[in-house]
Amino acid sequence: MYALLDGNNFYVAAEVAFRPSLAGKPVVVLSNNDGCVISRSNEARALGIKMGAPWFRVSHLADSAGLVALSANFALYGDISDRMMSLAAGLGPTQEIYSIDECFIGLDGMRGDLVERARKIRGRILQWIGVPCCIGIAPTKTLAKLSNHVAKRAERKPGSYPAHLSQVCNLGAMPKSDVDELMQATAVGEVWGVGSRIGAQLQLAGVQTVHDLVRYDTGTLRSRWGVVLERTQRELQGVPCIELDESPAPRKEIASTRSFGRPITSIEPLIEAVTAFATTAAVKLRGQASVASQVLVFARTSPFREGPRFSRSCVVPVRPTRDTRHLVAAAIAGVRKIYAPGYALAKAGVMLLDLQPDDLVQGELGLDEPHEDQTQLMTALDAINQRYGRGAIGIASAGPAGATKHWQMRQERKTPAYTTNWAELPIVRA
DNA sequence: TCTGGGGTCCTAGGACCC
DNA sequence: TCTGGGGTCCTAGGACCC
């Protein structure tokens, strides 16, 4: 048996927890660069604002409907997430943190009333952290997701599902006829693993609801859509195919990419940006004790704007390394190779590929110039930046430290890092 | 003016091997 | 006229997730 716990409108909820005056108002959190809506309060949803909507298309609602928009504050969300996950872990013996706002809990061996227990945990998270969440319980992960979906819909839209399923829903404890009924009332597109493409194809094939998918011919499903969807079907039938993953393996690739605050039209700022991206990626790389042997760098114009299009990338091989200097050098070499003048570049990025654990690196014959990672130097670099703040010490091609780069992303509505920065602690007045 | 960022897995097809 | 069989590895592209 599994539970899926996930925070309601998580980013917005984290913001509201520190600004209670926003409760009950239409609030959205915007992606980096204040680009798109990535989290909405129920009130914002009710205004018809879609997930992923470009901000400039809905910003008029700020005046007409009191919509409040905030820039993403990932330091805050990450910290609130850690706290929520610690409490969620009390639900059962095993936990898989699946994303910043949701986790699966393995419930094997749990006795007693699971729903009651889940409601208790939910209450504790709400009281201690201020973030509301919903919990779905079922025999497989895909069903737990579905169960969670039911719990959320039942809370948000009373009447869409029976009221007692609101906030916490246990499909595993229901008679089959009730489960069938819920599946008939749920669109196939809501299933975990069915996205927009396959969802549309299924609809055309006459599969409208979750119930239709459960009963669809397995052979046809497999030959037309592949083994992934077959697995999803089995999971919906109650056969566990996807295990709980308590300690995810290290990443196989690490990316750092950004859209620019303003378009770039020359190579100098592009080199600055790519230096910053490679530096960020290198820190993540060392954080998981890996080395990279390929560096991919890309740059492109906006796909939404008129004008000449540009989108190029190149992969630069390096000797397996975790040294920021080597990774930055490779990224810059890549930039010089792909760069062409005459374009308004909107986005660029660096990806580290072909990662391996740093203790398993193949040695080399000394046929070439010596090439040594300065492990101690990197350790010192990370420690200094940890203590004095990101960018306190870095690579010179990143440009002057602390200077505002005109390519840097816009974040015009960011709230303080209430819980992760001493200088930004909230102040309570009696 | 203005459209995010970071991942994973699967499959098909090509290159190559014997 | 006529052109095998079986396998691996790599890559690009497509689909999905949050």
CATH number at residue A140: 3.30.70.270
State whether A164 and A288 are in the same domain.
no
Distance A275 CA to B7 C1' (A): 22
What 3-state DSSP class applies to A314?
Answer: strand
DSSP codes joined into one string, A49-115: PPTT-BHHHHTTHHHHH--EEEE--HHHHHHHHHHHHHHHGGGSSEEEEEETTEEEEE-TT--S-HH
Average of per-residue pLDDT across A304-318: 90
Nucleotides of chain B in contact with protein CB (under 7 A) are 2-11
Contact A5, A145 (CB under 8 A): no
Q: What is the structure's pLDDT at A124?
A: 98
Residues 6+ apart with CB under 8 A from A109: A93
Mean pLDDT of A156-180: 96
Query: pLDDT per residue over A234-262, tens digit each?
Result: 999 999 999 999 998 899 999 999 999 99
Asked if residue A80 has pLDDT above 60, the reply is: yes
What CATH number is associated with residue A348? 3.30.1490.100
Bridge partners (DSSP) of residue A316 are A295
Please report which confidence band the pLDDT of residue A175 belongs to, taking 50, 70 and 90 as the band edges.
Answer: very high
Helix, strand or coil, per DSSP, at residue A285: helix
Position A242 in a domain: no
Mark A236-256 as b/e (b = at least 16 C-beta within 10 Å): bbbeeebebeeeeeeeeebbb
* A103 and A149 inside one domain: yes
Q: Domain for residue A149, yes or no?
A: yes
The phi and psi torsions of A170 (rounded to 5 degrees) equal: -115, 95
Domain span at residue A70?
2-174
**Statement: the CB of A193 is under 7 Å from strand C:** yes
Q: For residue A50, is it within any domain?
A: yes
Proximity of residue A226 CB to strand C below 7 A: no
Q: What is the pLDDT of residue A212?
A: 97
The spacing between the Cα labelled CA in A313 and the C1' in C12, in angstroms, equals 14
Per-residue pLDDT, A364: 59
Answer with the residue of higher pLDDT: A420 or A166: A166
Question: Across residues A369-393, what is the average pLDDT?
Answer: 81
Confidence (pTM): 0.94
**Tens digits of per-residue pLDDT, A314-371?**
999 998 999 999 999 999 999 999 999 999 999 999 999 999 898 876 665 555 554 5
Question: For the residues A50-75, what does the mean pLDDT come to?
Answer: 96
Residues A185 and A320 in one domain: no
In a domain, A423, yes or no: no
pLDDT of A361: 63
Nucleotides on strand C with an atom closer than 7 A to protein CB? 14-18
For residue A426, tell me if it sits in a domain: no
A10-25 pLDDT, tens digit per residue, is 999 999 999 999 999 9
Residues A25 and A146 in one domain: yes
pLDDT > 70? residue A373:
no
Domain boundary among A174, A195, A220: A174
Would A406 be classed as within a structural domain? Answer: no
In angstroms, the CA of A47 and the C1' of B18 are apart by 66
Domains: count for chain A:
3
Phi, psi of A102 (to 5 degrees): -150, 150
Tokens found for residue A273: 């940006």
Chain A residues 198-217, Cβ below 7 A from strand C: 198-199
- Side chain identity, residue A181: E
Which tokens belong to A223? 């030959």
Do A68 and A166 belong to one domain? Answer: yes
Q: What is the pLDDT of residue A372?
A: 62
- Closest nucleotide to residue A232 (Cα to C1')? C16
CA of A223 to C1' of B10 (A): 13
Separation between the CA of A227 and the C1’ of C6 (whole angstroms):
24
Q: What is the pLDDT of residue A405?
A: 81
Q: Which two tokens stand for residue A49?
A: 């604002």
Q: What's the CA A218/C1' B7 distance, rounded, in angstroms?
A: 29
Same domain, A184 and A163: no
Task: Return mean pLDDT, chain A.
Answer: 93
Same domain, A182 and A232: yes
| A292 C-beta less than 7 Å away from strand C | no
From residues 239-268 of A, list those within 7 angstroms of strand B by Cβ: 251-259, 262-263
> Is the CB of residue A146 inside 7 Å of nucleic acid strand C?
no
Spanning CA of A226 to C1' of C4, the rounded length in angstroms is: 29
Question: Which residues, 6 or more positions from A73, have their beta carbon under 8 angstroms from its beta carbon?
Answer: A14, A15, A29, A414, A415, A416, A417
Instruction: Check pLDDT > 90 for residue A374.
Output: no
In a domain, residue A290? The reply is: yes
Q: Are residues A334 and A231 in the same domain?
A: no
For residue A64, count other CB atoms closer than 10 A to its CB.
Answer: 8
